[in-house]
Amino acid sequence: MAKLYFYYASMNAGKSTNLLQADFNYRERGMATMLFTAAIDDRFATGTITSRIGLSAPATMFDAQTNIAACVLDRHAEATVACVLVDEAQFLTAAQVDQLARLADSDGIPVLAYGLRTDFRGALFEGSARLLALADSLVEIKSVCACGRKATMNLRVDDAGQPIAVGAQTEIGGNDRYVALCRRHFVAALAGGGVPV
């Protein structure tokens, strides 16, 4: 039976690298996959999933209006799709997560979704909240805070490296805008304790 998986982590934990490795494993065995990435993420080449270590693969871009299930089933009608892999899954809508669950349940296509659990304020993203509710398997990809503890939070910083506590939920960026921290250092940084190095 196919399952819906949610692989979640803080920033810079290797989510895209893990996704690309899973994709490679399927393709190496002659199985076709379908990759999706958020259209809003413009840090690298448009329409690609790119990891910080230099791996990349083309992907179908999605936004809030994309019917992901229809895209997959159209491709599946032409040639069997063995697995669907979604990067930046926090940007999915709840309805799109429901579509992914139906792909696994009704169409027998496994779905591996990779994304952040929480935003820079410690609040759940819509897509992540729905994935946490529906996924058959929740897998935490671990990252490390500067203190050595597990990083679970994403601190947004300004151009001077100072913590930011207010603003829009979504602001695209990498190491220049976000620091992965343990909860203790995240709370301390927002309280004026600075960012650990």
Please tell me whether 193 is known to bind a ligand.
no
Please tell me whether 146 is known to bind a ligand.
no
Q: 84-121: string of b/e by CB count within 10 Å (b at 16+)? A: bbbbbbbbbbeebbebbbebbeeeebbbbbbbbbbbbb
Please tell me whether 16 is known to bind a ligand.
yes
CB-count exposure of residue 45 (10 Å: 0-12, 13-18, 19+): exposed
Give catalytic status of residue 88 as yes or no. Answer: yes
Please tell me whether 76 is known to bind a ligand.
no
Please tell me whether 69 is known to bind a ligand.
no
Bridge partners of residue 36, in order along the sequence: 60, 86
Please tell me whether 14 is known to bind a ligand.
yes
CA proximity to 133, closest of 121, 120, 122, 117: 117
Please tell me whether 114 is known to bind a ligand.
no
In whole angstroms, give the CA distance from residue 165 to residue 155: 8
CA proximity to 38, closest of 84, 83, 87: 87
Please tell me whether 90 is known to bind a ligand.
yes
Catalytic residue chosen out of the listed positions 78, 88, 140, 171: 88
Please tell me whether 57 is known to bind a ligand.
no
Please tell me whether 11 is known to bind a ligand.
yes
Bridge partners of residue 63, in order along the sequence: none
CB-count exposure of residue 30 (10 Å: 0-12, 13-18, 19+): exposed
Please tell me whether 10 is known to bind a ligand.
yes
Binding residues for ATP, as ranges, are: 9-16, 87-90
Binding residues for Zn(2+), as ranges, are: 145, 147, 182, 185
Catalytic residues: 88
Binding residues, as ranges, are: 9-16, 87-90, 145, 147, 178, 182, 185
Binding residues for substrate, as ranges, are: 178
